[in-house]
Amino acid sequence: MLNIALFGPPGAGKGTQSKFLIEKYNLHYISTGDILRKELAEESSLGLKAKSIIEAGGLVSDEIIVQIIEKTITDNPHAGGFLFDGFPRTYIQAYILEGLMIKLNTKLDCLISLEVGEEESVHRLLERGKTSGRSDDNEEVIRNRLKEYKEKTLPVLNFFKERGIYRSINGVDSILNVSGKIEEIINEELSKKLLNIVLFGYPGSGRGSQGKALAEKFNLEYIATGDMLNDEIKKNSPIGKEIKELYENGNLVSDEIVVRLIEKKLQESGNVRGFIFKGFPRTLVQSYILDGLMKKHNSSIAKIVEIEVPTLDLIKRLDARSKTDRCMPYDTSTTRIIKRLKEHEDKTIPVIEKYNKLHGVVKIDGRGSFNEVFERTAAVVEHSFRDIR
Ligand code: AMP
């Protein structure tokens, strides 16, 4: 998700710039002023409550604002992100915004302030007043709106400065130049966003080969705990020896080992576009670990994918694999294969169910050739990239 707030005095150009931003970045636009004017035109009880305040150029109560913001956000659960115009306008509203973002498991990426001096604002609003039909675009009310801005809204900037997400732009420039500067800031924010994907599926479902190919195609870092553990076995490191023994008994490796290896990998991968996790999280405990790791790296899971293959096909595939050089230490006998499948069913299926309730899991038909399945998995990743934009 990409969430941006446009800040600035009345007449700074927030509305004008919003039009281009919502299209370019596919954002849901929330202008509290527009919503209030609509309520007013419809003469709803909320509109009537706000009428005299708006007409005098004052600020509508935070109580009313929180209601309209919450409603708009909950009415648009599939929005790829929000663009806030004219909100937050008070310190309380800044807290409200933070709370709402937490509720959506996201955050405000940045607040872009369009700097425009008072006389320029008045001049622009008087010009706009000639055609806008807005009762608050006359000099007396404009002066009051600017007074409210200075007294109640400007101090809000400190809130965002403290959080390190305040950016400012000189708003006295051509529309096109201001758009260009906003675009630069947003693109910078986007490049910081990681696309993290968790790939689920039974052993033999093709998670590994799909995961690797996806990582290559989309320039993601592939984190496969199984491969990382195998590397340790190959190195014959002390951890490797421990792992080998656990594998041979068909058991899972301790979380402590896995977490240490993942942490190392996350830290070592420099400039990547995101991560693709395969074989992790395997247990509910590990799913909490992943949440913690994501938070620590100031990121989150963008998409959870499960590749579905009927059990009989899985057994056939694993049995065939055991006869090739791609044979894993855990698929050397039927007993071990069955143990692995059961382990997945007992420990990992509850994780998928948890994620399904929380964020939704995209199910992919894993039958057919590698390329057929890859077309399906790649389409999901492609889509996820569009979603975080
Ligand atoms: P705008 O279209 O953003 O200039 O808003 C027009 C008027 O609506 C303002 O002068 C306020 O009276 C009211 N308003 C809009 N947004 C808010 C807000 N976030 N908090 C309080 N009042 C608001």
Q: Tell me: pLDDT of 354 over 80.
A: yes
Tell me, yes or no, whether 10 and 148 share the same domain.
yes
Residue ending a domain, among 192, 227, 249, is: 192
For residue 289, what are the contacts with CB-CB under 8 A and spacing of at least 6? 255, 259, 281
Nearest ligand 1 atom, CA 88: 19
Say whether both 239 and 289 belong to one domain. Answer: yes
Same domain, 160 and 264: no
pLDDT in tens, 291-332: 998 888 778 898 999 999 999 999 898 888 888 877 776 677
Say whether both 264 and 367 belong to one domain.
yes
Beta carbons of 152 and 59 less than 8 angstroms apart? yes
- Provide residues with CB under 6 Å of ligand 1: 10, 32-33, 36, 53-54, 57-60, 65, 86-87, 89, 93, 136, 145
Residues 160 and 263 in one domain: no
Q: Determine the pLDDT at residue 226.
A: 83
Task: Provide the pLDDT confidence category of residue 51 given band limits of 50, 70 and 90.
Answer: very high
Whole-number Å distance between alpha carbons of 184 and 165? 15
pLDDT at 333 over 90: no
Give the Å distance between the CA of 250 and the centre of ligand 1: 63
| Of 313, 307, 316, 312, nearest in space to 366 by CA | 307
Secondary-structure breakdown of the chain: helix, strand, coil percentages, each rounded to the nearest 5: 60, 15, 25
Whether residue 134 is found in the same domain as residue 267: no
The burial class, CB within 10 Å (0-12 / 13-18 / 19+), for 133 is exposed
In this predicted structure, what is the pLDDT of residue 73? 93
Q: Please, what is the average pLDDT of the chain?
A: 91
Question: If you take atom 11 of ligand 1, which residue's CA is the nearest one?
Answer: 59
Which of 7, 14, 32 has most ligand 1 atoms within 8 Å of its beta carbon, as the pocket-test mutant?
A: 32
pTM of whole model > 0.85? Answer: no
What average pLDDT score do residues 336-359 get?
92
187 and 205 together in one domain: no
CB 32 within 8 A of CB 86: yes
More confidently predicted of 296 and 61: 61
Look up the domain containing 92 and give its range: 4-192
Which of residues 175, 192, 209 is at a domain's end? 192
Q: How would DSSP label each residue in 256-275?
A: HHHHHHHHHHHHH--S-SEE
Per-residue model confidence (pLDDT) at position 389? 58
Cα 210 to its chain centre, rounded Å, is 23
Counted domains in the chain: 2
Residues 13 and 124 in one domain: yes
The enclosing domain of 90 has a CATH number of 3.40.50.300
Using alpha carbons, list the distances in angstroms from residue 48 to 52, 58, 69, 203, 322: 8, 14, 18, 61, 73
8 A C-beta contact, residue 279 and residue 273: no
Indicate if 222 and 365 belong to the same structural domain: yes
Q: How far is the CA of 170 from the centre of ligand 1 (A)?
A: 22
Q: Is residue 79 domain-shared with residue 178, that is, in the same domain?
A: yes
Using 50, 70 and 90 to split pLDDT, how confident is the model at 58? very high
Contacts of 110 (CB under 8 A, 6+ apart): 4, 5, 165, 166, 167, 185, 186, 189
Give distance in angstroms: CA of 165 to centre of ligand 1. Answer: 23
Q: Which residue, 135, 157, 192, sits at the end of a domain?
A: 192
Position 270 pLDDT exceeds 70: no
186, 303: one domain: no
pLDDT in tens, 312-323: 999 898 888 888
User: In this structure, are 293 and 183 located in the same domain?
Assistant: no
